[in-house]
Structures are given as C-alpha cells and as structure tokens.
Structure 1
Amino acid sequence: MQRQSYRFPHDKGSSAPLRQDSDTSDVQASFVMKCGGSTLAALPEAFFADLAQLQADGVRPVIVHGGGPAISDNLEKLGIPTEFVHGLRRTTEEVLDVVEMVLAGTINKLIVRRIQSAGGKALGLSGSDGSLIQAEPVANAAEVGLVGDVVRVEADIVAGVLSMGYMPVIAPLGVDAQGQRYNINADTAAGAVASFVGARRMIVVTDVPGILKTVDGVKAALPSVTFAEIEDMIASGEIYGGMIPKVRAAMKCLHGNVEEVVIVDGSEERVLSRLLSGEAIGTTIRR
C-alpha cells in the first residue's frame, strides 16, 4: 500500500485543490459520514442496522463524530468553565483533557459498540493515533486556545482499517510534530478526512432534514444549494448557529476530491441506503 502525501487548503475561502504526490490507496472509502455525538445518541437501532447492512454489501463507510454536549456536561460536572468564541470551544489544556476523554473514550466506544451490536465491524480511532490527523493552531488561537486546523490526514491508516473489513470511527482530535494535542471542530475534521481519503461523497447526519429556507412563511429543506446561496443565507441569518460550521466544512472539502456533501436527518427510515440508491433526500451541496 503506497503512502500518500497531501496538503489541506486551510486558508479560508481557498479554492486550491489538494495536492496528491502518489497514487491513491487500493482501498478507498465509499463515503465519509459526520455525525454529532448528541445526534448519534438519539439515532434508532435501525440506523445502525442499515449502516451494518451497507457494510455487509461491500460499502466502505468512514465515520467522523463529534460530542459537544457530552463534553459540556462533563466540564460542568468537574467545575471547569466552558466558553465559545465564534462557535469554537475555547480550549485550555484542562479542557482538552476532558475533550479527549469524552471524544476518544466515551463517545467513540459507544458508536463502535452500537455498530457492532447491529452486526457491523468497527474500529475506533482518535486523530492522535498514528498521527492520523495532523494539525496546527487556528489563526485566532490567541482567542480560542488549543483549537486546530487540519494540515494532513494519514489516508493510508484509513485505507488499512478498511482493507481489514472494519469501519473506521474517528474522534476529531489532532496532533502536531511536537506531540501537542488540538481540539478540532468535528465538521472541519470530517471535511478534511473526506478530502484526504478521496471519498466522493460526505454525508452529514443531523436532527434536521437539511438546510431549511423559509418560503411563504413555511420552512422547508432545500433539495440542493449553491455556495452563493449559502453565503446569502448566512448573511440573512437563515443559516445560523451550529449549521454554519457544517456548511463551511462542506464548502471547504468540496474544493478537494469530494464531489458532493449531503445533509440528512438520521431519524428517517433507512436514510443511508436510500440516499446511496439514488433517492433525493436532504440537501445536496455540490461544486
């Protein structure tokens, strides 16, 4: 299996493609799925059964997950203050200890167990393992602390796990060459992983049916959306809060190898298999 070298275009708004210095790995992800920790906890067993069946049918998913509410709950229990700056958790070493414990421990292993209970095969990893996700401080690190931008993903590790027949389940932590840990926004991490592993599609599983727009006083999910429409909706306030990093990550990874990002409601029956069979579900963002 050949080793790959990539550079993720982390400058905001960059349209530069990823540079790939060698051939892609023999085993390629079918899609990358991003799901928040709270969304995963609420998903029915049928969702994981659908995921396990897809794997049995030869589909190769890669999962990147979050866990923000669980992190906040644990910080509160420990009496550690939580603060957000422009949607990013201000992360000290003390906060990072809890972030790592929750993401790489509790949430990651919960997802692995749920997949395996449904008949699938999964292997949990954090971005620190094998320097899987390599990071550097974000531009506003003075404000947010130990929050990272992704500069490289070791795609051969993901390909190796897939080649063994397992579904990689990745916690969004990063590490630099000096071993410094970083907290990475899960949407940003998923977008980077999707680009670096060469997946053509990223699926963002949420608790809403897609990007909503108000038409004649009624909110409905848009079947598709352009970059320009996203920017207009952010400016108007129709896209707000936690949906902003989701669409930003989608736009960013679409500059790489990913052809489309689909935002779907994970509670819909067999949402993954229906989507992969070509059914129009959720909101699709394309180049």
Structure 2
Amino acid sequence: MKQRFVMKCGGSTLAALPESFFGELRELQQSGVSPVIVHGGGPAISETLAKLGIETEFVGGLRKTSEAVLDVVEMVLSGRINKEIVRKMSSCGAQALGLSGVDGQLITARLVANADEIGFVGDVTDINAAVIEGVMAMGYIPVIAPVGIDAQGQRYNINADTAAGAVASHLGVHQMIVVTDVPGIMRAVDGVKQVLPVVTVADIDEMIASGEIYGGMIPKVRAAVQCIQGQVQEVVIVSGEEPGVLTKAVREGGVGTRIVKGV
C-alpha cells in the first residue's frame, strides 16, 4: 500500500501558504505518497455572513448553525474555499479533486447532543472511505470540505478537526498533520522559546491550566487533540511556511510538535 497521510488545515491558513507548499504536495504525490486534505474556513464563513447581514455566534467553540447559516457554510466551504485550494494545487502541477462531505455520502452525520443550543451541527457517524480510496486510485489528491449529511438528506456543519480525525481513522492513518501558522507548541527554556518535540494530551491540559499555552494557541492545540481518535495515534502541528515541512513530517520527523495520546 502506498504511504498516505491526512492533512488538516484552516481555509485562511491554506490561502496564505506560499506556492512552494503546494509544489511540495505535487512532489510528494509524484513520489508515490497519497495525501488527503480536509480543510476548514471559519473566517471566510464569518466574513460572508457579515456581508449578508446574517447573525452568527459560537457556543462552546462551535458555530450556532441555522438553515440560513448552513447555506452560507456550504457555499463557502464546498464552493469558494474548496475550489480555491484545488486551483492552487492544479496551478502547481498537482492533481487534485474537490469534494464535499455530501458527495457520495462521504461524511455521514447526526445532530450533536446539544442541537437545541447550536442547531445543525453534526457529529460524524461514518466516513465513506471507498470514495476517498477511489479518488486516490485515480491519481488525485482528495480535498474535502467538512459538510455532512444524514440518510434523510439533512446537511450538517461539521467541525473540520473532528472531520479530519474521522477521515484519518477510517483510512487507517496513524498520523495526522495539522498545518497552521506556528512552528509547534512552544516553551520557554532559559528565557528562550523552543518548540517542544513531543507532548501528551495530559501535558496540554496542564500547560493550558498553568498558562504556558495561552491565547490563540489554545484553540489550535485543542483542535489538534480532537483529531486523535480511532487509529490516529498522534497529531503533528507544523508551520506551513517552513520549507519542506510536509516531507519532513511524513518521512523524517523532527519537525513541529507531536501530540500523542500518552507515553
């Protein structure tokens, strides 16, 4: 079986990545590695909702999703962001195919337990891995927008990190790569900030409680932890701006921060 990995990236992060990053995806693909990309797009969704005058709010870190908000979520994720990523990859010579979780019932979902509070937000119940495998078998990199569907045809807004973890688990992938705008989880050693090579989920909880992880890094690491499910044993947080970062993460190690379930 070909080497494969699942990469999760926010839509705004992907949009800001240099052309060399997409070129590296092409090189990995041409060398026989099979990437799968699951992307978000929160800032673009908020921006579009504001332009349309549709109110939005977050409950427990998840966007409260009415039918009107859901229309915008699908339009932005499955349309604008998904196709922007595919265009960028194609322009670098990579073979990419954009998919929504609705396509081929790729992501089956059900309402979250607190749906009365947050509306049409879904928990993933199944991943149609055969669709992803088929796309990869045709020589394309799947680029997946996290919109789910149920047997009755109801759409759901799926947290991108949750969707990425579910995709990785159903594909039997051991390692997830989360591409962001930071080089990893940092800790001050003798007054100098250094990237921690390995942390456990318990370490993260302690570092948040102590204030070592703070501000905008908190949602990044919590999102990464959400990806550790099923067969996914570790998540690597890396900066997309570091040259050759994907090749290092997939083949060499020693880059970013590895978050593991435990030691």
TM-score in terms of structure 2 length: 0.93
Q: 1:84 aligns with which of 27, 40, 58?
A: 58
Report how far residue 142 of structure 1 moved: 1.6
- Alignment partner of 2:197 out of 209, 223, 226: 223
Percent identity reads 67
1:250 offset after TM fit, Å? 4.0
How far apart are 1:198 and its partner, in Å?
A: 0.9
Distance between the aligned counterparts of 1:48 and 1:72, measured in 2?
A: 26
SS at 1:47 equivalent: helix
**Corresponding position of 1:37:** 11
Say whether residues 1:187 and 2:195 are aligned partners.
no
Equivalent position of 2:143 in the other structure: 169
Partner Cα distance (1:42, 1:182) in 2: 27
Aligned residues: 261
Select 2:97's aligned residue among 111, 123, 131.
Answer: 123
Deviation at 1:216, TM superposition (A): 4.8
Whichever residue aligns with residue 120 of structure 1, its letter is A
In the alignment, the residues of structure 2 paired with residue 187 and residue 143 of structure 1 have an alpha-carbon distance, to the nearest angstrom, of 21
- Does structure 2 retain, via aligned residues, the 8 Å contact 1:133–1:152? yes
- Structure 2 unpaired stretches of 5+: none
| CA deviation after TM superposition for structure 1 residue 214, in Å | 4.0
Output the amino acid matched with 1:191.
G
**Does the CA contact (< 8 Å) of 1:136 and 1:149 recur in 2?**
yes
- Name the structure 2 match of 1:274: 248
Give, in angstroms, the shift of residue 264 of structure 1: 0.2
**What corresponds to 1:232 in structure 2?**
206
Q: TM-score, normalised by structure 1?
A: 0.85
Write the distance in 1 (CA, Å) between the matches of 2:131 and 2:237.
26
Q: Which moved more, 1:28-37 or 1:235-244?
A: 235-244
Q: Which residue number in structure 2 is paired with residue 263 of structure 1? A: 237
- State the 1:255 CA deviation: 3.9
Aligned partners of 1:28 and 1:91: how far apart in 2?
Answer: 38
Among 148, 151, 167, which residue is 2:122 paired with? 148
- Please point out which of 57, 62, 77 is paired with 1:103: 77
The Cα offsets for residues 73-130 of structure 1, whole Å up to 9 and x where unpaired, read as 1011101112111211111100010000000000000001111111110000001111
**Which residues of structure 1 form unaligned runs of 5+?**
1-26
Cα distance in 2 for partners of 1:83, 1:102 equals 17
Measure the CA separation in 2 of the matches of 1:130 and 1:38: 26
- Name the CA distance, whole Å, in 2 between partners of 1:139 and 1:218: 44
State the partner residue of 2:68: 94
* Structure 1 position 67 matched with structure 2 position 41: yes
